[in-house]
């Protein structure tokens, strides 16, 4: 709307100048300046308007929607959950890509099974969306920070000329990345700890039954 109004005002000014220039040719340079300024503005505005398309959340299947409903989630809760999980999947994919690009990063992933743990925790959250809050550290702190750290490490390691300070910073980054990768593995273990407790109960009951049968 504003652009149309500006364009209309510009046309009125040009029309007025054309009338004046018919009487006084000296105004021709002014007209050329105005036209040039307008074209530069249009080019600048057009350049700014080009933005990257936003990634959309995948279509929700009926089976998955029924699963969420059975877990007591409202429509808005489902939307928020799916947005969160979509962002998490993108972060995990980026992390996997980062770990595969550098030998030291790959070694960290192999040592802690970081990507494997992240994917496993993602699947557990999809199965039990009502437990999303139990994975808050993983979703909003550990995973994003690890992606940022590995991004920066790859960027610095690509420098053609490295100073002693650069190498020192890379070594420090590796130590922090290793610690953060271990936290993600721990996040998964903490999330599924209830399953281990349930199994312990089942094992205790089974052993008790075996003892009673043996009497």
Averaged pLDDT in 10-residue chunks for the chain of 215 residues: 54 56 54 53 49 63 88 91 95 97 96 97 94 94 97 93 91 96 95 62 48 56
Please state, in angstroms and rounded to a whole number, the distance separating the CA atoms of residues 63 and 18.
68
Q: Give the number of other Cβ atoms within 10 Å of residue 148's Cβ.
A: 13
Q: What is the pLDDT of residue 36?
A: 53
* Span 25-58, pLDDT tens digits: 555 555 555 555 555 555 544 544 444 555 667 7
To the question of pTM greater than 0.95 for the whole model, the response is no
Please state, in angstroms and rounded to a whole number, the distance separating the CA atoms of residues 215 and 199.
25
Q: Are 153 and 175 in contact (CB under 8 A)?
A: no
Q: What is the pLDDT of residue 64?
A: 86
Number of H helices, E strands in the chain: 10, 0
Q: What is the pLDDT of residue 199?
A: 47
Q: What is the pLDDT of residue 204?
A: 47
CA distances from 62 to 16, 65, 67, 85, 188 (A): 63, 5, 9, 18, 28
């Amino acid at each position: 709307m504003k652009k149309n109004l500006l364009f209309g005002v510009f046309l009125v000014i040009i029309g007025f100048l054309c009338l004046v220039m018919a009487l006084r040719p000296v105004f021709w340079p002014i007209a050329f300046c105005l036209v040039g300024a307008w074209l530069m503005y249009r080019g600048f505005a057009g350049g700014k308007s080009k933005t990257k398309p936003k990634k959309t959340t995948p279509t929700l299947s009926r089976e998955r929607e029924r699963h969420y409903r059975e877990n007591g989630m409202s429509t808005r809760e489902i939307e928020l959950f799916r947005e969160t999980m979509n962002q998490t999947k993108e972060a995990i994919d980026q992390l996997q890509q980062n770990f595969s690009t550098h030998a030291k990063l790959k070694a960290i992933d192999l040592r802690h099974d970081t990507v494997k743990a992240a994917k496993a925790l993602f699947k557990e959250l999809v199965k039990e969306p009502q437990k999303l809050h139990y994975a808050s550290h993983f979703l909003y702190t550990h995973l994003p920070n690890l992606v940022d750290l590995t991004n920066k490490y790859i960027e610095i390691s690509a420098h053609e000329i490295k100073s002693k300070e650069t190498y020192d910073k890379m070594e420090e980054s590796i130590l922090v990345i290793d610690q953060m990768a271990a936290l993600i593995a721990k996040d998964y273990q903490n999330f599924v700890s209830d399953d281990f407790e349930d199994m312990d109960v089942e094992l205790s009951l089974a052993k008790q039954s075996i003892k009673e049968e043996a009497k």
